[in-house]
Amino acid sequence: MGSRIVATGRALPRTAVSNQELQRFMDTSDEWIKSRTGIGTRYTLRSGESLAEIATAASRTAIDRAGIKATDLDAIIVGTVSSEYTFPSFACQIQTQLGVDSIPAFDVAAACSGFVYALSVADTSMRAGDFRRVLVVGADALSTFVDWTDRRTAVLFGDGAGAAVLVSEPGTRGVLASLLRSSGRHWELLSCRATGVRGTLDSEVRRESEDAIKMKGPELFKIAVKSMEEVCRQVAKRAGIELDDVSLVVGHQANRRIINAVAERLGVAFEKVFINVDRYGNTSAASVPIALDEAIEQGRVHDGDLVMLNACGGGLTWGANLLRW
Ligand SMILES: CC(C)(COP(=O)(O)OP(=O)(O)OC[C@H]1O[C@@H](n2cnc3c(N)ncnc32)[C@H](O)[C@@H]1OP(=O)(O)O)[C@@H](O)C(=O)NCCC(=O)NCCS
């Protein structure tokens, strides 16, 4: 018995922020941001908005499209590092907003790799026979943790949520293999001391302090490319498939140059690579499920296709899932 994604959904904060708007209060330019990252705009969470409500909206879309009720779920697993509170978990907040009770609901903290990690955990539990229907969510609001005076990080991040419903079923479709990796010794390349998005938003603290996201961009760039290439090769090997047979790569949307460099090193044609970083920026754990949801909507995913998901983020963490659609 394996697991298969039967439906997805996505939701975003109300406010879109263009590069031109950033230019008004930051020493940056649309040309610099686009040429170094591929990002044109991103959505940012504002005071009065709730990331839990946004993640619940993405979840409801996935649940409706799956043709089930929230009460049919056996578990909720959320990849996030932006829980509104230090505790309860973000998954418990989504659970109560969905009107579900008693089933296990928990978070997986793997920064930008959160969805890839959560999907792997869900698949493994379903193979073990623990659950039959699982909601897997990726949701983050890293814009609430950036130091808006640090142009090296502030332009990169956006907020949002994506969700997928997995059902257990026999057969050859679904999650073929996953691989997760971490390297704690590189934690200082990307870190954030602050916790609890609710406190950050409501106190309207400008994150100019030690609490804000700290990143060593150029070092991270090199490791991200190398580790995502390696994990994609390894997961393909584990699943017993050739990379040439992959129909679509839906990777973490951190930077167009990173996505293209990984594809080039893997020898995957650019037309097989899904990119939407231009419209969302780096939404951390939300980026893979938002991209997958858009790829499906755009007719880029067909029955029988091999779809590669991959991500890399703070921890460092990285990983990949190979799916037969
Ligand atoms: C952050 C990143 C875009 C920076 O690009 P880069 O080409 O490495 O640029 P550098 O950091 O070397 O900076 C180059 C110059 O641009 C400047 N610069 C940095 N950010 C800028 C901005 N937003 N606008 C204008 N100029 C900027 C720097 O100050 C530097 O100028 P200097 O040489 O006069 O000091 C890139 O390193 C990156 O994407 N890294 C990975 C980050 C990431 O994906 N993190 C999340 C992983 S999950």
Q: Does the active-site annotation cover 282?
A: yes
Give CA angle at 108 (171, 301), nearest 5°: 40
Read off the pLDDT of each residue in 211-223 and give the average, rounded to a whole number: 94
User: Ligand 1 center to residue 282 CA distance, Å?
Assistant: 14
Q: Which CATH superfamily is domain 1-325 in?
A: Thiolase/Chalcone synthase (3.40.47.10)
As a whole-number percent, the residues of the chain with pLDDT over 90 amount to 89
- Tell me which residue of 27, 26, 101, 47 sits closest to 70, measured CA to CA: 101
Give residue-wise pLDDT tens across range 274-285: 999 999 999 999
317 C-beta closer than 6 A to ligand 1: no
Pocket mutation for ligand 1, best pick of 37, 221, 231, 275 (most atoms within 8 Å of C-beta): 221
* Residue showing tokens 């419903």: 165
Task: Note the residue count of the chain.
Answer: 325
Give the confidence band of 22 by pLDDT, cuts at 50, 70, 90.
very high
Give residue-wise pLDDT tens across range 94-131: 999 999 999 999 999 999 999 999 999 999 999 999 99
User: Ligand 1 center to residue 215 CA distance, Å?
Assistant: 10
Q: Does the active-site annotation cover 312?
A: no
Which candidate in 282, 310, 312, 321 is catalytic?
282
User: Ligand 1 center to residue 182 CA distance, Å?
Assistant: 24
CB 108 within 8 A of CB 76: no
Q: Is the pLDDT of residue 164 over 90?
A: yes
- pLDDT for 193 equals 87
- pLDDT for 200 equals 64
Q: Is the pLDDT of residue 180 over 90?
A: yes
- What are 138's two structure tokens? 């990726």
3 C-beta closer than 6 A to ligand 1: no
Q: Is the pLDDT of residue 199 over 80?
A: no
> Which atom in ligand 1 lies closest to the alpha carbon of residue 36?
3
Residue 71's Cβ-count burial label (10 Å; 0-12, 13-18, 19+) is: exposed
Question: Which residues have CB under 8 Å from 237's CB, separation 6+?
Answer: none
217 C-beta closer than 6 A to ligand 1: yes
224 C-beta closer than 6 A to ligand 1: yes
- The mean pLDDT value of the chain amounts to 95
Phi then psi dihedrals of residue 210, to 5 deg: -65, -15
- pLDDT for 203 equals 57
Q: Are β-strands 306-313 and 248-251 bridged in parallel, bridged antiparallel, or unpaired?
A: parallel
Q: Is the pLDDT of residue 254 over 70?
A: yes
Read off the pLDDT of each residue in 2-24 and give the average, rounded to a whole number: 97
CB 46 within 8 A of CB 15: yes
Give the confidence band of 82 by pLDDT, cuts at 50, 70, 90.
very high
Q: Is the pLDDT of residue 208 over 80?
A: no
Q: Is the pLDDT of residue 198 over 70?
A: no
Pocket mutation for ligand 1, best pick of 152, 155, 282 (most atoms within 8 Å of C-beta): 152
- pLDDT for 210 equals 78
Read off the pLDDT of each residue in 142-159 and give the average, rounded to a whole number: 92
- Tell me which residue of 102, 100, 105, 73 sits closest to 87, measured CA to CA: 105
Read off the pLDDT of each residue in 36-51 and give the average, rounded to a whole number: 95
Q: Are β-strands 174-182 and 317-324 bridged in parallel, bridged antiparallel, or unpaired?
A: antiparallel
> Which atom in ligand 1 lies closest to the alpha carbon of residue 111?
48
- What are 321's two structure tokens? 């899932």
Question: Which residues have CB under 8 Å from 310's CB, separation 6+?
Answer: 116, 228, 231, 232, 249, 251, 252, 262, 288, 318, 319, 320, 321
Q: Is the pLDDT of residue 206 over 60?
A: no
User: Ligand 1 center to residue 151 CA distance, Å?
Assistant: 8
Cα(171)–Cα(2) distance, rounded to whole angstroms?
A: 7
- pLDDT for 202 equals 57
- pLDDT for 195 equals 73
Cα(35)–Cα(239) distance, rounded to whole angstroms?
A: 36
Cα(75)–Cα(103) distance, rounded to whole angstroms?
A: 5
325 C-beta closer than 6 A to ligand 1: no
